[in-house]
Amino acid sequence: MPNAQLTLGTRESAAAGPKIVTLAGSLTLETVASFNQALREEPAPALILDMSELTWLDSAGVGALVQLLVRRSKSQHSLALAALSPRNYAVLQVAQVLKLFSVHKTADEAAASLAQNPNAAQRST
């Protein structure tokens, strides 16, 4: 069973680019409330979720990611996912939401892409 904790670490990318939030632990039913609370009002025009340290993602976590994407889209802010593990990539694929996100191999790749086009919504893998 995965550890039911989620920690968020933040950093700004180079040259005042997108904000990068690293998710560590589990994004599950037990942790989505704190995830939503932490990122609901995020003012950064471009946000990257670095998921390299995310060990577990369930359907509630998928729902929270989609809700965040919708909120950010309504305010004309972008969201990208980076460094998905094969398992978490598969979870998003099975949920048939992967195509909604801009997905990148690394947070740096996502930052470079969003710096060039802050409103980019295309998928890159």
Q: Which domains does the chain have, with CATH numbers?
A: 6-116 (3.30.750.24)
116: left (phi over 0), alpha (psi -120 to 50) or beta: alpha
Q: Which residue has the higher pLDDT, 112 or 22?
A: 22
Its pTM surpasses 0.85: yes
The Cα–Cα gap between 75 and 78 comes to 9
Contacts of 121 (CB under 8 A, 6+ apart): 78, 102
Q: Which of 39, 20, 31 is nearest to 83 (CA)?
A: 20
pLDDT at 3: 63
70-107 per-position pLDDT tens digit: 999 999 999 999 999 999 999 999 999 999 999 999 99
Look up residue 88 and give its two tokens: 């978490």
